[in-house]
């Protein structure tokens, strides 16, 4: 199987995105790589596809349990054998996973960095045929980055202990030039291909507001987007708790996440958000790295983050499916003082010398200044972000509050009116809503997040094409042969039935859609299509 066939069969795409093919070719050719792609740019395919085509096993080093679970679940849905090893498993479960891995039953194994050099995993690794080590969120290796994790420094020691060095690849969405150099040096990449596809996310709208009352402004924002999936970031646990209670009192399905909560509550909150039982997540920056939820339509920052790297990474959790999404920062001057206090009282790597600590503190203060200039400046917000990461940009993007002149209420009202006029085709819009209901029903039956069945972007393409046959269904972006085998009959039956029901004059309502979804799920089962 060649790479194009694998891309279509397992991931449902007929072509590669910018930079993907270049990185994939390098890895398949035995060359190390550093790939810097924006969130939602398709980084995971760059190591998931080579894993299918290489003879041995691919290790994916990942910092978060939730990310591993999501990606493994998505791979299994796509027909790829994969597993993860992290602290969510019992010792017995780890032994079973390693035994199966030793039997070559997995093509990809996701593992937390602190697990690499444990005796049990080393015994497996020394005997295994490891073709590729992919390091996700690779900026965590740099002490100058915003998410430094000391355990990432153990990765080269693990690689060097192996009897045969595999190809090593590093992936990140945000990295300044200093952090890029650190990644190459600290992970000991050998003559790597360095592929930077750009940091721009054209589907994201950026805005800074300076309200007199942030709580009132936040309530207005969330109420206007009731039922949509969104994240609200706060600088402190106290603000998280306060806003969570405020939104719950206003009737919103909301959960909270911060390091002060016990592990069980954090896990339940994350699951409720991932499975769309809760629409709003209020959290500190403890939540989010690697979150693969594709249908987040807005990210609001109640407080200004300490640096642009963190802001862009957190804001970038919106619109991962390519749909339009909003990133709004509610700025107040006291955020600057809070940021300074948090920098001065933050934990520092104890191995740093006094000179290095002083240098690190100075860099953090400079990054806070850059973030403040973003929040208070009068130039294009997107251009400011891209320039910060060393990328040229137009003076005006036309998709931020500065370019759209939203510094006054009448202008804001004009834009709102324009957006209201831009109503999509009603038939496709109804079909999309109906397909989401079917997807959600199936996901609930299988107890997996809805976007793992199909993303919103795939459903929009399906709503536009309205496939009537298996051949047509396979032309939908995001539908591969495995997904077609699992869901094709169900969705085709539903589309036919939905169109016929509306054509017969039955009014569109949620009860009708829910009934059709249940009927389609039953009719589309494999044992009904033999």
The Cα–Cα gap between 437 and 520 comes to 11
Sign of the CA dihedral with 78 first, then 83, 87, and 89 last: positive
Give the pLDDT of residue 418. Answer: 46
**Res. 530 pLDDT band, cuts 50 70 90:** very low
Sign of the CA dihedral with 337 first, then 340, 341, and 342 last: positive
**Res. 420 pLDDT band, cuts 50 70 90:** very low
- Laid out side by side, the sheet with 204-209 consists of 204-209, 325-330, 296-301, 229-233, 280-283, 254-257
Give the pLDDT of residue 510. Answer: 83
pTM of the predicted model, to two decimals?
0.77
**pLDDT of 432-480, one tens digit each?**
989 999 998 999 888 888 888 998 889 999 999 999 999 999 999 999 9
**pLDDT of 345-389, one tens digit each?**
877 767 777 887 788 888 889 999 999 999 999 999 999 999 988
Q: Is 52 helix (H, G, I), strand (E, B) or coil?
A: helix
Between 121 and 362, the more confident residue is: 121
Q: What angle do CA 21, 12, 58 make, to 5 degrees?
A: 55
Task: Please state the φ and ψ torsions of residue 257, each to the nearest 5 degrees.
Answer: -155, 120
Share of the chain above pLDDT 70, in %: 93
Partners of 326 in the beta sheet? 205, 298
Kindly give, in sequence order, each residue whose CB lies less than 8 Å from that of residue 496, ignoring residues fewer than 6 positions away.
468
Burial zone of 510 (CB within 10 Å; 0-12 exposed, 13-18 middle, 19+ buried): exposed
| Cβ–Cβ under 8 Å, residues 169 and 36 | no
The residue-averaged pLDDT of 114-123 equals 92
251: left (phi over 0), alpha (psi -120 to 50) or beta: left
Distance of CA 37 to the CA centre of its chain: 12
Kindly give, in sequence order, each residue whose CB lies less than 8 Å from that of residue 162, ignoring residues fewer than 6 positions away.
125, 126, 130
The residue-averaged pLDDT of 402-420 equals 58
Give the pLDDT of residue 143. Answer: 75
Q: Which two tokens mark 301?
A: 């920052």
The residue-averaged pLDDT of 260-273 equals 90
Q: Is the pLDDT of residue 253 over 50?
A: yes
Q: Highest-confidence range of 31-40, 108-117, 143-152, by mean pLDDT?
A: 108-117
Q: Is the pLDDT of residue 507 over 80?
A: no
**pLDDT of 71-88, one tens digit each?**
898 899 899 999 999 888
What do you get for the CA distance between the two ends of the chain, in Å?
A: 27
Give the pLDDT of residue 356. Answer: 77
| Cβ–Cβ under 8 Å, residues 43 and 23 | no
Residues counted in the chain:
530
Give the pLDDT of residue 527. Answer: 52
């Amino acid at each position: 199987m060649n790479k194009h066939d694998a891309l279509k069969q397992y991931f449902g795409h007929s072509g590669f995105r910018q930079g993907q093919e270049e990185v994939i070719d390098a890895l398949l050719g035995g060359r190390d790589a550093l790939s810097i792609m924006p969130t939602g740019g398709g980084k995971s395919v760059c190591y998931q596809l080579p894993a299918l085509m290489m003879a041995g096993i691919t290790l994916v080093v990942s910092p978060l349990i939730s990310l591993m679970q999501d990606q493994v679940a998505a791979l299994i849905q796509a027909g790829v054998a994969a597993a993860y090893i992290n602290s969510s498993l019992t010792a017995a479960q780890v032994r079973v996973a390693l035994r199966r891995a030793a039997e070559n039953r997995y093509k990809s194994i996701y593992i937390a960095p602190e697990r690499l050099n444990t005796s049990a995993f080393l015994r497996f690794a020394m005997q295994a045929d490891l073709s590729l080590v992919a390091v996700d969120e690779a900026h965590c290796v740099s002490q100058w980055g915003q998410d430094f994790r000391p355990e990432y420094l153990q990765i080269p020691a693990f690689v060097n202990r192996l009897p045969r060095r595999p190809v090593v690849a590093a992936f990140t969405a945000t990295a300044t030039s200093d952090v890029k150099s650190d990644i190459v040096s600290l992970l000991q990449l050998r003559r790597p291909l360095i592929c930077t596809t750009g940091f721009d996310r054209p589907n994201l709208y950026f805005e800074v507001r300076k309200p007199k009352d942030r709580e009132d402004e936040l309530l207005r924002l969330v109420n206007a987007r009731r039922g949509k999936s969104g994240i609200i970031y706060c600088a402190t646990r106290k603000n998280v708790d306060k806003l969570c209670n405020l939104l719950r009192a206003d009737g919103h399905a909301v959960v909270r996440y911060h390091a002060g909560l016990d592990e069980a509550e954090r896990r339940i909150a994350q699951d409720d958000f991932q499975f769309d039982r809760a629409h709003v997540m209020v959290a500190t920056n403890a939540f989010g790295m690697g979150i693969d939820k594709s249908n987040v339509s807005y990210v609001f920052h109640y407080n200004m983050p300490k640096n642009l790297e963190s802001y862009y990474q957190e804001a970038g959790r919106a619109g991962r499916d390519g749909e339009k999404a909003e990133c709004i920062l509610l700025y107040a001057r006291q955020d600057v003082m809070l940021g300074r206090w948090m920098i001065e009282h933050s934990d520092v790597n104890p191995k740093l010398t006094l000179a290095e600590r002083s240098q690190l503190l100075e860099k953090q203060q400079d990054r806070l200044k850059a973030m403040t200039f973003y929040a208070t400046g009068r130039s294009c917000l997107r251009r400011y972000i891209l320039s910060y990461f060393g990328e040229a940009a137009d003076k005006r993007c036309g998709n931020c509050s500065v370019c759209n002149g939203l510094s006054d209420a009448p202008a804001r009202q004009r834009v709102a009116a324009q957006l209201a006029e831009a109503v999509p085709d009603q038939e496709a819009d109804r079909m999309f809503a109906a397909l989401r209901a079917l997807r959600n029903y199936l996901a609930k039956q299988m107890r997996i997040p809805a976007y793992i069945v199909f993303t919103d972007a795939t459903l929009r393409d399906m709503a536009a094409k309205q496939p009537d046959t298996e051949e047509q269904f396979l032309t939908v972006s995001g539908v591969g042969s495995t997904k077609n085998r699992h869901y094709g009959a169900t969705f085709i039956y539903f589309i036919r039935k939905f169109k016929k029901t509306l054509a017969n004059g039955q009014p569109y309502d949620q009860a009708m859609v829910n009934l059709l979804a249940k009927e389609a799920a039953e009719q589309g089962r494999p044992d009904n299509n033999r």
